[in-house]
Amino acid sequence: MLAAVCVVAAASWAFAPDARGNAQTEVLGPTYSQHALEDFEIDGIHLGMPRDQVASTLADRGYTFRNPGGREGEGHWSSARGELFLFDFVERGGVTVVQSFVYDRPYTYEERQDLDARRADLIALLGRPTHWMQWRTGFGTIGDTFKYVSQRSQLQHVDDAWSCYVDWRCQAQQGTDCRPAVQRVRGLVVSGSFTAGGLSVEVTDYRRRAAEFRRDRAFRTQDATGAYCPILPV
């Protein structure tokens, strides 16, 4: 478990279950330094790790590389247990390293119902989240979401930042100014959820993209000219 830079007293607000058994509790935990977030490790994998070291580490732990489409630069690693790693690599100092990764772990129906055990697993894996929305669904299974950040003020911007880094021009066309989110969230963030199928964790380093945005006049002025955005059906 990683040491927190700033530990605050956990505060929580519980909402009574509705008729279907839904219940949510918001819990605040510690913030983490950027260095600590960079050291977050899952099955030996962490940000900044060279691609060849990723391959050897996962192979040693029983993962297999799969690329069904056979396309260069694509593919994922999966285990016999159903765990999966997806990576985004970047060149840094002549070495290809991990810039972000997604880890998915499936749960059985029985595992999803054991809320206390799954939450204990999360703390053992990454430590206490900075923001943790604990949710028991109407089916009695776990549906939590969680975030680990270095500044508490980032929490309200993390979701917008994710969308803005994917395509800020389309966000601008929809009326969202991405500059505040990128200004607040321009480093490392860890977020995730307990989905219908299991645990999903995304570890992301926004530093490179944030630096590119600061040099981009179009982004600074939110000039979305030429954006090509999909229109979702109603």
Whole-structure pTM value: 0.84
Rounded distance between C-alpha atoms, residue 185 and residue 161, angstroms: 6
Average pLDDT over residues 148-173: 93
Edge-to-edge order in the sheet of strand 188-194? 12-15, 23-28, 131-136, 145-148, 188-194, 198-205, 95-106, 84-92, 76-78, 64-66
Q: What pLDDT, on the 0 to 100 scale, is given for residue 229?
A: 84
Average pLDDT over residues 130-153: 92
Average pLDDT over residues 17-46: 86
Q: What pLDDT, on the 0 to 100 scale, is given for residue 2?
A: 35
Q: What pLDDT, on the 0 to 100 scale, is given for residue 231?
A: 65
Do residues 168 and 158 lie in contact, with contact meaning Cβ atoms separated by under 8 Å? Answer: no
Name 131's bridge partners: 28, 147
Question: Which pair of structure tokens corresponds to residue 24?
Answer: 């949510």
Q: What pLDDT, on the 0 to 100 scale, is given for residue 9?
A: 30
Question: Domain extents for the chain?
Answer: 12-46+108-221
Rounded distance between C-alpha atoms, residue 99 and residue 92, angstroms: 10
Do residues 145 and 135 lie in contact, with contact meaning Cβ atoms separated by under 8 Å? Answer: yes
Q: Tell me how far apart the 2 most distant CA atoms of the chain are, in Å.
A: 58
